[in-house]
Structure 1
Amino acid sequence: MKHLLALLAFALIAGCGFKPVYSTGGGANYTGGAISVDPIDGRSGYLLRRALQEELAIGLPNVADPATLTVDLTENLSRLAFQQDGAASRSNVTTSANYTLARESKSIHGSAVGEVSFAVPDSSFGDIAAQKSASERAVKLLAKNIVDDLRRQLSVQ
């Protein structure tokens, strides 16, 4: 009887529509409209692609046909202020990108920058966490700047 109940429970769970977050199946692709974003290398590239897909989900002005956004991302960490013992106390994460929105009719090129400053904690592990957090914020800002620039360029066409 216990085995029968366990099988019934598994059958109900399988039919609920649950999909793993990092699925590689057909449901893994983001379908945010007519604009697709090519994969971008690295952790920051993955985060940038997801942020761009969210920003582009509502579309762009004067873009009704399918389009592909290709992004070349660079990320830089710079130490701004130092304590008397030489340890960094303030840092910047700067993300910059050159992008191309390719459409059947014509392509649009541009560049954008996202920059975030953060205070460096005293512990080394805290510094790593602060860098990752700043990188995530810089990538989201970069995605917003890219989409804003695309909207500006497309609104004058």
Structure 2
Amino acid sequence: MSSSDRRHFLSLLAVAPLAGCGFAPVYAPGGAGQVLRGQVLVAAPDTRLGFQLVSRLEERLGLPEAETYLLGYTIETSETDLAITGTNDITRINIAGTVRFTLTETATDTEVLADSVSTFTAYSTTSTAVATAAARRDAQDRLMIALADQVMSRLLASSLRWS
């Protein structure tokens, strides 16, 4: 067996278990990603962090055409000093975040999903207050994007149970 035939055989062998497991791409026509698109109204934000979270979710879900579901959420963040020099200067700060969310079917007011996601990011402090403030804001934005992507993953993974 030549080397290219062996690779072809091994790739087919690796994909074979997926054929019987019910695996289906979420963004395929009729997949979970397409079912959710334009169907979820995300609760209006009331903070800058909420605005970043909602912006990313709407980017992934699309603006609601039919408000079949309402996605409510709460955001919690905390900061921890990570790196402290010998002179007690803080040089790196960790921001941890958690989003607790509920998805409610609007027609029946039935909660179809309640879950939470958590992650963290960090930023470096510098000698200028302006640069440190910009780094903090950027870290917060990255945190909200990561949390929104995790919320989307949970919605997509569970959507076949409730959609």
Alignment partner, residue 62 of structure 2: 57
Give distance in 1, aligned partners of 2:113 and 2:81.
34
Residue number in structure 1 paired with 2:151? 146
Query: Aligned partners of 2:126 and 2:132: how far apart in 1?
Result: 6
Q: Give the one of 102, 116, 122 matched to 1:117.
A: 122
5+ residue gaps, structure 2: 1-36
Runs of 4+ in 1 over 2 A off after TM superposition: none
The secondary structure found in structure 1 opposite 2:138 is helix
Equivalence for 2:51: 46
Q: State the TM-score, normalized to the length of structure 1.
A: 0.70
- How many angstroms does 1:58 deviate by? 8.9
Q: Give unpaired runs (5+ residues) of structure 1.
A: 1-31
Describe the SS at the equivalent of 1:81.
strand
Gap change, CA 1:65 and 1:48, over 3 Å in 2: closer
Matched AA of 1:42: T
Residue identity opposite 2:94 in structure 1: N
**Residue pair 1:40, 1:72 contacting (<8 A) in 2 also:** no
- Count residues with an aligned counterpart: 122
| Partner Cα distance (1:58, 1:45) in 2 | 16
The answer to whether the 8 Å contact 1:35/1:66 transfers is yes
Shift of 1:118: 2.0
User: Residue deviations 1:38-67, cap 9 Å, x none?
Assistant: 0132110111111111121299xxxx9710
Going from structure 1 to structure 2, the CA distance change for 1:82 and 1:112 (only over 3 Å counts) comes to same
Output the aligned Cα RMSD: 2.2
Q: State the identity %.
A: 20
Compared CA separation, residues 67 and 111, structure 1 to 2 (3 A): same
